[in-house]
């Protein structure tokens, strides 16, 4: 057992698993300090996720956008960019999907792909701005994307209000042909909001892996991410690749937005502040090791903590506990170097 855990080959997934385990242990300690029995807390969490099919459905619903923003961030990380603007790209994507779902009505087989495309495209355009500024003027993407997050928030809130039929808080519903929601999925999960977005998320994870690992284009993007000078030496178009990377990252974030707007709700909402999906994507990508499969798993985990928090609240465990656990997991994931050292140490003692 110890041998398996300390084997270098297994480190890729053992290290994140240990981070998660430590996160839960830390969460337990916090609960004990605040006078809550951690067994009660965690069984409430488990119940909140697996308690019945409706809870299960809601779990998947909260995981879908996290997987997609995780992919967005990971795509940036793999290509040398820190796309902290996933939040803004998420917002414009959410809106674009709704707009495309309100203004036209088409057969579902065409309309649904079209609204998803609109979301991805809007996210890509929002990613294009920092991309081109970095490529042309060497402006750091972190600065530009943070600013664009605010721009997106307020600009989109304004657009939502001026769409035909909008109230002060939301748009009208999209045509059913543009919605991801499904009576079938809802019915088998005791009327949860489960929608077809989980297929989009899984396809996106596959696409992510495929572009990065399998295509010549992905090879170039990774090369530019690691070493721009060597990429230039090899005749790659470095600036163009930076722009593409930002756009693809933005497209994933835009899709994530659509998961909420045409999946969970069927309309776009005016929001007062960022909902944090973009920022949570950082955590998801980090824990998932920027690996397509890993991101699906870590997205599901963070989704569970999010979905389970309300169940915990019902069991008189403060909602904040689940946020604290999330924060601890991120902390331990960021400490992966230390965990690796620990494993090496254990391996030596074994000998």
Q: What residues make contact with another protein under the rule CB under 8 A?
A: 8, 214-220, 222-223, 226-227, 229-236
Q: Which is nearer to another protein, 142 or 236 (CB)?
A: 236
Query: Residue 208 or 277: which CB sits closer to another protein?
Result: 208
Category of 220 on φ-ψ map: left (φ > 0), alpha (ψ -120 to 50) or beta: alpha
Cβ atoms of residues 278 and 87 within 8 Å: yes
Q: How far is the CB of 8 from another protein (least distance, A)?
A: 6
Q: CB of 348: closest distance to another protein in angstroms?
A: 8
Please tell me the distance from the alpha carbon of residue 78 to that of residue 10, in angstroms, as a whole number: 21
CB of 340 to another protein, least distance (A): 13
The nearest distance, CB 74 to another protein, in angstroms, is: 16
Six token digits for residue 52? 């019945």
* Smallest separation (angstroms) from another protein to the CB of 226: 5
Give 248 or 311: the residue with its C-beta nearer to another protein.
Answer: 248
Is the Cβ of residue 3 or residue 319 nearer to another protein in the bound state?
A: 3
Closest approach of another protein to the CB of residue 219, in Å: 6
Smaller CB distance to another protein: residue 223 or 309?
Answer: 223
Nearer to another protein, 192 or 231 (CB): 231
Instruction: Please report how close the Cβ of residue 238 comes to another protein at its closest, in angstroms.
Output: 10
Nearest of 306, 303, 332 to residue 319 by alpha carbon: 306
> Which one, 232 or 323, has the nearer CB to another protein?
232
Cα separation, 196 vs 182, in Å, equals 7
CB of 211 to another protein, least distance (A): 10
Non-local CB neighbours of 242 within 8 Å, separated by 6+ positions = 79, 81, 131, 134, 135, 224
- Closest to another protein by CB, 168 or 216: 216
Q: Are 208 and 70 in contact (CB under 8 A)?
A: no
CB of 108 to another protein, least distance (A): 31
Separation between Cα atoms, residue 28 and residue 46, nearest integer Å: 14
Nearer to another protein, 117 or 236 (CB): 236
Q: What DSSP assignment string belongs to 271-332? A: -SS--SHHHHHHHHHHHTTT-HHHHHHHHHHHHHHHHHHHHHHHTT--THHHHHHHHHHHHH
Contact between 288 and 20 under an 8 Å Cβ cutoff? The reply is no
| C-alpha closest to that of 78 among 221, 283, 276 | 221
Rounded Cα–Cα distance for residues 279 and 248 (Å): 17
Structure tokens at 17: 């698993």
Q: How far apart are CA 109 and CA 111, in angstroms?
A: 6
Question: Quick one: which of 191, 199, 184 has its CA closest to 53?
Answer: 191
């Amino acid at each position: 057992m110890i041998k398996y855990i300390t084997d270098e080959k297994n480190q890729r997934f053992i290290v994140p698993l240990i981070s998660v385990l430590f996160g839960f242990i830390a969460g337990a300690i916090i609960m004990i300090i605040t006078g809550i029995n951690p067994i009660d807390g965690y069984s409430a969490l488990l119940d909140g996720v697996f308690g019945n099919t409706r809870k299960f459905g809601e779990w998947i619903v909260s995981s879908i956008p996290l997987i997609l923003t995780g992919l967005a961030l990971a795509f940036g990380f793999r290509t040398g960019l820190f796309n902290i603007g996933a939040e803004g790209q998420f917002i414009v994507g959410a809106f674009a999907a709704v707009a495309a779902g309100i203004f036209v009505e088409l057969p579902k087989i065409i309309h649904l792909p079209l609204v998803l495309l609109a979301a991805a495209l809007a996210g890509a355009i929002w990613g294009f701005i920092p991309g081109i500024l970095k490529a042309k003027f060497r402006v750091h993407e972190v600065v530009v994307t943070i600013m664009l997050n605010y721009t997106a928030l307020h600009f989109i809130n304004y657009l939502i209000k001026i769409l035909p039929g909008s109230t002060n808080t939301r748009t009208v519903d999209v045509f059913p042909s543009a919605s991801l929601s499904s009576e079938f999925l809802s019915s088998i999960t005791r009327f949860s909001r489960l929608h077809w977005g989980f297929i989009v998320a899984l396809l996106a994870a596959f696409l992510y892996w495929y572009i990065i690992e399998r295509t010549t284009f992905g090879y170039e993007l990774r090369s530019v991410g690691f070493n721009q000078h060597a990429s230039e030496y090899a005749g790659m178009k470095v600036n163009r690749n930076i722009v593409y990377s930002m756009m693809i990252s933005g497209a994933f974030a835009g899709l994530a937005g659509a998961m909420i707007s045409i999946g969970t709700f069927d309309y776009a909402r005016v929001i007062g502040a960022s909902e944090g999906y973009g920022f949570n994507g950082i955590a998801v990508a980090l824990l998932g090791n920027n690996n397509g499969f890993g991101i699906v798993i870590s997205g599901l985990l963070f989704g569970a903590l999010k979905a389970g928090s309300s169940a915990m609240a019902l069991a008189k465990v403060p909602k904040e506990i689940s946020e604290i656990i999330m924060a601890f997991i991120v902390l331990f994931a960021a400490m992966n170097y230390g965990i690796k050292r620990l494993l090496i140490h254990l391996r030596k003692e074994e000998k």
